[in-house]
Each structure stands twice: as C-alpha cells, then as structure tokens.
C-alpha cells in the first residue's frame, strides 16, 4: 500500500467534497441559496428604511427584490439548511472515521498475520525434527545414485528435496559402524545455530541405518575451490571465507553451555553457500566440554595434516587443537597448496614448515597462490601469513579464535581499502 493511499487527509477530502456537492445539488439549489442570502441582507435593510420613513411604501426598492417568503419562514428555511449541513457533515465524518479505523485494523491484522507466518517459517528452519524413513527415501528418490553429492568416512551424502520444497543434503550412516558419529552430530547441531555453521534440519534413527538432514550448500566445499581445475577464488573471497570460518569456530569455543571442539577442521568440512558464505560442517568428531574444563582426554581423531602435533602426543582435546587446524586451512587459502607437500626431494613437508622456510629466506610472496595473479594486498597477505603461522605454533603461543577474527578483519580492511571498508559489515556482528 502506497503512502498516498493511506493518507487520512487524502481519504477524507474526496468523500466530504462529494457530500457537500450532493447537498448543494438538492432541489433548493445553489442559486436558491444565493437568493436566500441576498434576501436576508435586503430584509435587514428594508426594516431600517421602514422605521426611518414612518411606514412609507418603498415600492421602487422592493421592485428589485425577487419574490420571497416571509422573513420568519425564510429564517426557518435557512436555519434548517444549516442544520442539515451540520448534521450531514457530522454523519459523514463519523462514517469516514469508522471506515478508516476498520481499514487500519485490517492492516494491523494483516501485518500481524504476516509476522506470525514469518515466525512459523523461521521456527521451522531453526528446529531439528525427527523424520521417518519414508520421508527420507522420498526426499532422495530411494537413495538414487545420481543424487550422491559426496562421501565421507561415515557414509554417502545425497541431495534431496523435502515435501515443503526445500533442498537438503542427506547423510546416510550405517548405524552399527558409525552410531557414535550420528549421536555426536545430533547432539552438537540440534541446538546450535550460527550463520557460519551448517544447519541440521532433521534426523532419522532407523533400526540398521540412520540419516542426518542438513541445509544444502550449493557451492560445495572449500577443497573443490582450492584444488579444482575449473574453479578459483579471488583474494577478497579467500579472506571472507577465512573470516567467516573463524567466526563459526569462535562461536563454538565460547558456547554458553560449554566449549565445543570441532576436532576436524579442514577444507572439505567448510561448505560454501549460495553467496560463498562459509559454513563449518561434519561434527561427527566434535566434543562438548563442561564449563570451566580446559581439556578432556580422548583417542586421537582427525585428518592427517590438520591434527595438532601436541594432541597426537598427549591425547588431550583442547580448543587450541582447532586453532592449529584452522591455521593449516588459512595457509592453504594463501598458497593453494595441500597440507602436506613433496618438493624437490621425496621427503614430505608440512605447509607450515614450508611457509616458515620461505620467510627465513625472504621469499614470502613465493608462498602466494599463483592463481591469484598477484592481485592481492601484500600487507594483508603478510599479516595473514604471520597469523596462520602463529596458529600452528606452540599451544601456549597460539591466539584465541577471537584474536584470529580480529586480525582477519584487519587484513580484510586493508585489502578492501578505507572507502570500501566503511560499507563492510563485520562478521563479529553475528554474535549480537
């Protein structure tokens, strides 16, 4: 509804003018009203002349006056007219007020209905509901092979569509082999919501198999973009992906009910949404620690090349382990290289050691991904590289994810320039 349509002044103008026009169009007529008004003035003048001339006849003056009713009848007619006008105007105003009030109430009611509908959709999106086997098989077309979009340790991932038309990713888990993975994911994601964490829409706990239903991230995972032949990321995109992933990890580490340690941060577990926004996925190895607990003991889990060396030795799950893994991912975003590389010799070398070696030799820019074509800020690149190496350093010297977010924001600010930075929304605002 436009502003002009809802303006009371505009709404009242038409009906009142129409009402007055109708009254003036009655048998009395506009000319009749003019005549009556002239008669009132002339009648007063005649009364004065009669007194002055001692009741002499003034036929000459009266001859110019149109025939009229007696004075008392004329006054009564004029008063009746004014009364009708006043009553009509009052009735018109009341009718218009009631109509406008009812219209305003309808608008408020419709707005309220819209808000309720939007809240219902939002609630549906935020809730993780239990689904039936039939719903799962219908959504994936009976686990059709052409719908497979990925495969992990726990099972295959299928693209599907729910009855409400929403596209989803369905992870198929063989229960007797990976029941623990299923339970961890449901426990971790069913009540955790953040823009940089993949949303768990539902789950199905069958007798021999189980399913996890996630939101579908249409642009795949980060690994496909870093190492795929037909895909590439420009510099700003890489920083934004690093920043968003860091925010999601920071949120997990400061979760009010206890620190959640992901334990498997790597490019394949960073999914990309429709606008290339990053979302951490695969919480099958995650651990939730009680408030005040700094670490818990566990068998070594994770992916080779991304596991904290200290965790491999002491088997202690700690948030610093995620920081190490994130540092390795950041190094990959900067270089476009694998976590473990083979250079001139057959001896493999980790990406963090390669970066440290190039820094010592003064060849920092040689670490940059050639596909960037030199289109990046050297200052921001240097800042990001030092940050990544601090994440992969000794546990006591590693930054927190909050500090990581702050430094990445600085790197992004430098890269985008002062003018563009003023229009950039900080990822930290997602915690508000």
User: CA–CA separation, 373 vs 129, rounded Å?
Assistant: 47
Annotated catalytic residue within 47, 208, 264, 290: 264
Judge whether 205 counts as a catalytic residue: no
Distance, CA of 112 to chain centre: 20
Are 150 and 267 a contacting pair, CB within 8 Å?
A: no
3-state secondary structure 80-149: HHHHHHHHHHHHHHHHHHHHHHHHHHHHHHHHHHHHHHHHHHHHHHHCCEECCHHHHHHHCCCCCHHHEE
**Could you please report the per-residue DSSP string of 283-302?**
-TT-EEPPTT--EEE----S
Task: Say how many C-beta atoms besides its own lie within 10 A of residue 379's C-beta.
Answer: 12
Nearest CA to 222 out of 302, 376, 330 is that of: 330
Q: CB 25: neighbour CB atoms within 10 A?
A: 10
Q: From residue 84, how far is each of 34, 155, 189 by CA, in Å?
A: 17, 85, 73
CA–CA distances in Å: residue 348 to residues 5, 69, 313, 360, 422: 73, 120, 20, 19, 44
CA separation, residue 369 to residues 13, 57, 219, 384, 415 (Å): 69, 117, 21, 13, 16
Cα separation of 155 and 170, whole Å? 10
Q: Which residues are catalytic?
A: 264
């Amino acid at each position: 509804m436009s502003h002009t349509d809802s303006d009371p002044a505009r709404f009242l103008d038409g009906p009142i003018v129409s009402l007055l026009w109708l009254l003036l169009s009655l048998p009395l007529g506009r000319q009749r009203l003019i005549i009556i008004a002239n008669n009132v003035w002339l009648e007063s003048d005649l009364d004065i002349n009669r007194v002055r001339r001692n009741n002499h006849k003034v036929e000459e003056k009266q001859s110019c006056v149109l025939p009229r009713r007696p004075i008392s009848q004329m006054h009564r007619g004029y008063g009746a007219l004014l009364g009708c006008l006043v009553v009509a105007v009052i009735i018109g105003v009341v009718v218009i007020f009631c109509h406008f009030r009812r219209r305003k109430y309808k608008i408020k009611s419709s707005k309220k209905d819209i808000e309720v509908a939007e809240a219902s959709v939002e609630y549906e999106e935020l809730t993780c509901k239990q689904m039936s086997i039939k719903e799962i098989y219908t959504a994936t077309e009976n686990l059709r092979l052409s719908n497979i979009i990925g495969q992990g340790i726990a099972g295959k991932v299928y693209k599907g569509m729910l009855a409400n038309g929403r596209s989803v990713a369905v992870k198929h888990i063989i229960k007797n082999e990976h029941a623990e993975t299923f339970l961890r994911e449901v426990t971790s994601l069913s009540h955790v919501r953040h823009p940089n964490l993949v949303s768990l829409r539902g789950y199905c706990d069958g007798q021999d198999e189980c399913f996890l239903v996630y939101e579908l991230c249409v642009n795949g995972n980060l690994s496909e973009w870093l190492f795929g032949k037909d895909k590439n990321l420009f510099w700003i995109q890489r920083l934004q992906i690093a920043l968003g992933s860091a925010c999601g990890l920071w949120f997990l580490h400061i979760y009010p009910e206890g620190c959640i340690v992901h334990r498997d941060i790597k490019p394949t577990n960073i999914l990309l949404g429709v606008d290339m926004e990053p979302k951490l996925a695969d919480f099958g190895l995650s651990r939730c620690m009680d408030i005040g607990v700094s670490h818990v003991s566990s068998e070594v889990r994770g992916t080779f090349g991304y596991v904290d060396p200290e965790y491999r030795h002491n088997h202690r799950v700690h948030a610093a382990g995620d920081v190490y893994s994130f540092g390795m991912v950041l190094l990959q975003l900067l270089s476009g290289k694998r976590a473990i590389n083979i250079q001139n010799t057959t001896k493999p070398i980790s990406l963090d050691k390669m970066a440290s070696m190039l820094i010592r030799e003064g060849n920092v820019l040689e670490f940059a991904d050639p596909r960037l074509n030199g289109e990046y800020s050297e200052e921001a690149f240097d800042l990001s590289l030092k940050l990544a190496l601090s994440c992969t350093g000794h546990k006591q010297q590693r930054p927190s994810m909050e500090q990581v977010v702050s430094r990445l924001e600085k790197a992004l600010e430098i890269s985008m320039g002062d003018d563009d930075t003023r229009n950039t929304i900080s990822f930290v605002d997602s915690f508000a």
